[in-house]
Amino acid sequence: MNKILGILFAIIVLVSCNSQKVYSDFDISYSKSGGVAPIYENLLIKGNNVHYSFEGQGKKYKQDFKISDEDLKKLDQVLSQNNFRRIQEDRKKLYDNISTSINVKKGPNEGSKTDASMIIPNYKTNWNNILEAFQQIINTNVKKQ
């Protein structure tokens, strides 16, 4: 009986550890979270595979889909044209704000930026253009219920 319980416990631990892998193994991530009524939105891209999740406003859903090479190229172009790596974050403290973080782990735009403390005004247009590119991917591919 103890052997069965031990094996069952080991399986549960392995399954729970593997379920978080999708949130750490990505090439590009877009994450939006926070606010007075918190929301959590994630878009994780690994190769052509995309994992999307949303939780907030009384809703919760997840969806996996494929993205075309052309759409990936467009996203990379938007990151490059808007100087993603040069965008500067401000140091002002904001509370109860919905913030967005973008992480790029490979390619010429490799870096990490967030607007949790605002974006320097000179880079605000660039930041908004990049956010719009991610929002277009979500709007085009996610079937919200």
Q: How does residue 143 score in pLDDT terms, banded at 50, 70 and 90?
A: confident
CA 68 to mean position of chain CA atoms? 18
By CB atoms closer than 10 A (0-12, 13-18, 19+), residue 70 is exposed
What is the mean pLDDT of the segment spanning 116-145?
A: 91
% of the chain exceeding 70 in pLDDT: 82
Q: How does residue 18 score in pLDDT terms, banded at 50, 70 and 90?
A: very low
100: which strand partners? 32
Closest to 79 (Cα-Cα) out of 103, 51, 43 = 103
33: which strand partners? 40, 99
Element (DSSP H or E) covering residue 44: strand 39-46
**Reported pTM:** 0.81
| 3-state SS assignment for residue 75 | helix
- In angstroms, rounded to a whole number, what is the distance separating the alpha carbons of residues 129 and 134? 9
Q: Round to the nearest angstrom and report the end-to-end CA distance of the chain.
A: 44
What is the mean pLDDT of the segment spanning 53-64?
A: 91
| 3-state SS assignment for residue 14 | helix
% of the chain exceeding 90 in pLDDT: 61
Angle between helices 124-141 and 69-81 (to 10 degrees): 170
Q: According to the model, what pLDDT value does residue 12 have?
A: 62
